[in-house]
A and B are shown apart, each in its own frame.
Chain A
Amino acid sequence: MAIVTVRRISQVFFFLLFVWFSFVSTAGEEWWELRGWPANWFLQLDPLVALVTFLATFTFYAGLLWALLTILLTLVLGRFFCGWVCPFGTLQHFMGYWSGRFETLGHLQQKNRYHPYQVIKYYLLVFLLSMALGVALQKIIQAGLWTALLLYGGIALCLLLLFRETWLGEKKSKAIASVFFLAGASGLLAAFLQGGHRILASSVQTGLLDPIPLMHRSLNLFLFPVLGEPFRRGVVEPRLYEGAWVIGLIFVAVLLLCLKIPRFYCRFICPLGALMGILGKWALYRVGKTRVNCRDCSVCEAHCEGACEPMGAIRQHECVLCMNCLDDCHHGVMGYGTSRSLGGERDAPDISRRGLVLTVAAGVVSIPSMRLSGLLASNRDPHLVRPPGALREEEFLQRCIKCGQCMRICPTNIIHPGDFSHGVESLWTPVLNFRVGTSGCQLNCVACGHICPTAAIRPISLEEKLGEGRFADVGPVRMGMAFVDLGRCLPWTMDLPCIVCQENCPVSPKAIVVHEVFRPIRDPVHRVHSVMENDFIVVTLERLALQPARLATGDYYVRWVGEEARWRIQRNTEREIELVPQARGHISTQEGNEIEILVRLHLPQVDPHRCIGCGVCEHECPVTGKRAIRVTAENESREKRHSMILHGS
């Protein structure tokens, strides 16, 4: 069996597996729902996820250890993941193949030639990783000024030794290198004096470009919803995701670009591919010329997926082990083995040292620059309500890889990809929108935390979420606080009876209490023509003043002007009002008296000690545009600084 056949089988296998895993990420126990499917396996295998969260948190969370397997295999075999496993790569590969089916060899060779811009992905990788360096640098600083300087000096020395040819060669390089060294040292000093808090911070942003989260996101938020979600449990309305069109656009755009340049994303953008390329530098097995009888016919380069120039000095860091060159070569020159290619090799990308240092600095500085807008401090966005179990914002942004799994699994469709309004770093991170979906956050659901691959949303137990048992004195997990908008709430401002929010509040005792008030309706006063007390008690008015049956809902009362007592209205016509039997014998039958019609209103008020910000009230509020009760992030339990009420009160 040809190796390329197996490669194709492998690609199809992992692609289907990936799509299946994304598809089953819905809460439930049927075979098409999550059950025990290891739906995060690809995210766990992804070494970029493990690496960047390690840099930001100094932990490997749970299943992320799978990444070690990928790293091990890559160290030994090369970029097998790109060519054999990565589903995004497979998709692009297919697009490229599809467009190139009937093209000439010459045209194909042109398309698959190496392009110098393929080096961009390495800069992107370094930039993204540098954004996560803040915590590591802070730890160095916390170790003490002299330790920090020593370590810094040590690292600089290592870099110097490793790249001594370049540093010591050109004078210009030496000057620039010294400048950067001093700049770095002063930056470190400044950071140290400041306690490091202002300048150094970590943010995980690899999720934007890492293909595994990207593909999960594109499937979960764009493709599946657009196709209609056939098997989704209890779908009453189509799933919606704010801003998903952008995600879809990017996805489709990349695939379309692949029609022009095969594996466009893999070659130019993919930071995971770049990481694999770096890891594969010492690979024990590599593709290359195993025979000396190469005719330089370029047939091997026609279908080269990585655009790695196998005919010349093969660029090992670009080779994705597609094995097409092995298969295509008529003379059996190409092979896969332990020797280096007889035609020569390049095993490291063309990154300039200057560029490298600049990129690192840019990455490290970018995060504090972004944080100047104070969105993580006093200028925080009150509409940033995160799912229950989410970590404090600083720590959350050190873990979230924007994979969209939580958004897919949420049974009520209230988790949405955030947009720029919550901050650049919060793009596509989970934000709650209670207006959309089938209800607020369900009281007994803890699905989102259990599917998050990096524990940006912690896997809390139901006990912890409800504040029971061991967590009774900590209290329930609060996502925010509901606030009644008095200017929009129907009973408060329009004298329309409504207690939908209080009825639907799911906690016990309820977090919404009502105050009963009686208010005169519009044009409340009428003159009595006569009163009849027979089987029914009917008050007839002098004029036709009422809308028939409008007062019959059980919320309307009659009060004789000058008296205290109120009597509920059972029915009414345009001129007659029927009162409850209890009124018998207590009302004045004199004609000419004036009565006032009152409406009984229950004015909702949120109890801040009970409200957990689940948003059910907001979702059910009949004022469907801008809701009359809205949840914002005050008093969220994940951030003590945002607490609104006293503990233990």
Chain B
Amino acid sequence: MEKKETLHRRDFLVRSLKVGAAVGVTGFLGWRFHDPEGPPGAQQEEDEVSLPDFSVPGMDRRLAVVRGEDRAATLELALHALGGMSAFVKEGDRVLVKVNAAFASPPILSATTHPALVERLVQLCFKAGAGEVIVTDNPINDPQSCFVLSGIEEAARRAGGRVIYPRSDLFQPTTLPGGRLIRSWPLLYGPFHGVNKLIGVAPVKDHHRSGASMIMKNWYGLLGGRRNVFHQDVHTIITELAMMVKPTLAILDGTTTMMTNGPTGGSLADLKATHTLIAGTDQVSVDAFGATLLDKTVLDLPFIHMAESAGVGTSRYETLNPTHLQVS
């Protein structure tokens, strides 16, 4: 009888302890995680990011215009005129090359950055001592097909670069200070981790809504979300993009210019062999010169003047004393 009682008491004690512990844990969790107001309204999720200034000090206001058919050759000559790639890319740098891979078009249609140009550019970056070269864009069409069919993926790989595809978790919201459109908007920020140099390289194209798609419009490919909504106010968005992105170098490829039916083009008849490559550190000037290849003026492209007024650069490229060269 006594043994039973002792057993019972011990069992009861053990149970009481377990119950007590359970109560304690539940009570603690309840107190710790109690939320009297419910979830907040405006989606206050991830922290916002912003792009740093990638321009190299002392290298501003430079512009070079090289005429020639071979992109690799014109590129090298242009960079040489600006001071050489090593003036921009230093030993161990991580370079991000923002190409235009918007469409799954073959290179001959000139709707995307030419793979030969990409390949040579990546090679030159490595030659100047870069530790890594990343090539990226957020295409309009399916990313896989765009990078492959445009030839950019193979070109980058051959030169030792790495293509980063725009996965959804690589986007983070950003706000342009003073901007009206870029407010908490998803930005392709993931590829920029550890990057300290940014080169934008794009072809010269006519554009149905904005008049032209060149270096400043090329940054559109860094935006995520339902960005087509910005087409309702396209000049403002291009201006805000130019304000947000400060590249190390801008390389505008006018070797074959898409004169009409941009930005997709589609016919070789849309193209004109203007055989010019423009490189510089002032993206407004670069675009202003590019406009001439389209037989347009700055007045035809409001975003150029808007970017100039915002202080991004100057549209009067002559004031930069551009170097004009010819590939023999």
User: Chain A interface (Cβ within 8 Å of chain B)?
Assistant: 54, 57-62, 65, 68, 71-72, 75-76, 195, 197, 279, 282-284, 338-340, 391-392, 395, 455, 458-460, 464, 474, 640-649
Contact = CB atoms under 8 A, between A and B. Distances in A.
B22 A646 contact: no
A108 B43 CA distance: 58
Given A75-B23, A474-B42, A340 B33 contact: no
Given A284-B15, A643-B226, A647-B181, A458 B38 contact: yes
Interface in B29-48: 29-30, 33-39, 41-43
B231 to A, nearest CB: 10
Nearest to A395: B39
22 contacts: A54-B29, A65-B30, A65-B34, A71-B22, A71-B26, A75-B22, A284-B12, A339-B8, A340-B8, A392-B43, A474-B41, A640-B43, A640-B225, A641-B225, A643-B229, A644-B226, A644-B229, A645-B232, A646-B181, A646-B233, A648-B183, A649-B233
B225 to A, nearest CB: 6
Contacts of A284: 12, 15-16, 19
Contact of A60 (B30, B41, B169): B30
In this complex, which of A71, A458, A640, A644 has the most chain B Cβ atoms within 10 angstroms of its Cβ? A640
Give chain B's interface secondary structure class: helix
Contacts of A61: 35-36, 38
B11 interface: yes
Contacts of A59: 33-35
A338 B33 contact: no
B34 A641 contact: no
Contact of B19 (A282, A647, A648): A282
B214 to A, nearest CB: 23
A68 B30 contact: yes
Nearest to A399: B39
Contacts of A283: 15, 19
B168 interface: yes
A460 B39 CA distance: 10
A60 B226 contact: no
Contacts of A340: 8, 11
B3 interface: no
A59 B30 CA distance: 8
Contacts of A640: 43, 184, 225
A460 B16 contact: no
Contacts of B230: 646
Nearest to B40: A458
B18 interface: yes
A237 to B, nearest CB: 33
Contacts of A54: 29, 33
A648 B175 CA distance: 14
B178 interface: no
A62 B19 contact: no
Classify chain B: how many residues form its interface, as a range.
35 or more
Contacts of B168: 197
Contacts of A197: 168-169
B57 interface: no
B193 interface: no
**4 closest cross-chain pairs (CB), A and B:** A455-B38, A59-B35, A282-B18, A195-B169
Contacts of B23: 71-72, 75
B58 interface: no
A459 B33 contact: no
A62 B232 contact: no
B271 to A, nearest CB: 33
Nearest to A647: B183
Contacts of A68: 26-27, 30
Given A75-B19, A284-B16, A340-B11, A62 B35 contact: yes
Nearest to B180: A648
B42 A338 contact: no
Given A646-B233, A649-B233, A62 B43 contact: no
A23 to B, nearest CB: 25
A375 to B, nearest CB: 16
Given A195-B169, A646-B230, 13 more contacts: A54-B33, A60-B30, A60-B34, A60-B35, A61-B36, A68-B30, A72-B26, A338-B12, A340-B8, A395-B39, A645-B229, A645-B232, A649-B232
A643 B181 CA distance: 13
B12 A646 contact: no
Contacts of B15: 282-284
Interface in B260-289: none
B229 A459 contact: no
Contacts of A195: 169
A642 B38 CA distance: 23
A75 B38 CA distance: 28
A464 B40 CA distance: 12
A71 B11 CA distance: 21
Given A72-B23, A282-B22, A284-B15, A641 B35 contact: no
Interface in B5-19: 8, 11-12, 15-16, 18-19
A139 to B, nearest CB: 13
A646 B232 contact: yes
Contacts of A279: 22
A374 B16 CA distance: 49
Interface in B143-197: 168-169, 180-181, 183-184
B91 to A, nearest CB: 31
A594 B210 CA distance: 49
Given A641-B226, A648-B183, A649-B233, A76 B19 contact: yes
Given A59-B35, A75-B22, A459-B38, A646 B229 contact: yes
A239 B230 CA distance: 43
Contacts of A474: 41-42
Contacts of B233: 646, 649
Contact of B33 (A58, A282, A391, A644): A58
B180 to A, nearest CB: 5
A165 B36 CA distance: 44
A195 to B, nearest CB: 5
Nearest to B179: A648
Contacts of A57: 39
Nearest to B30: A68
B36 to A, nearest CB: 5
A283 B39 CA distance: 35
B36 A62 contact: yes
Contacts of A75: 19, 22-23
A368 to B, nearest CB: 15
Nearest to A68: B30
Contacts of B35: 59-62
A365 to B, nearest CB: 20
B100 to A, nearest CB: 24
Interface string B40-67: 0111000000000000000000000000
A65 B35 CA distance: 9
B147 to A, nearest CB: 20
B33 A60 contact: yes
A323 B277 CA distance: 92
Contacts of B22: 71, 75, 279, 282
Contacts of A649: 232-233
B77 to A, nearest CB: 42
Contacts of B12: 284, 338-339
Contacts of B27: 68
A642 B226 CA distance: 8
Interface in B217-238: 225-226, 229-230, 232-233
Contacts of A395: 39
Contacts of B43: 392, 640
Interface string B199-218: 00000000000000000000
B166 to A, nearest CB: 14
Contacts of B29: 54, 60
B251 to A, nearest CB: 31
A598 to B, nearest CB: 34
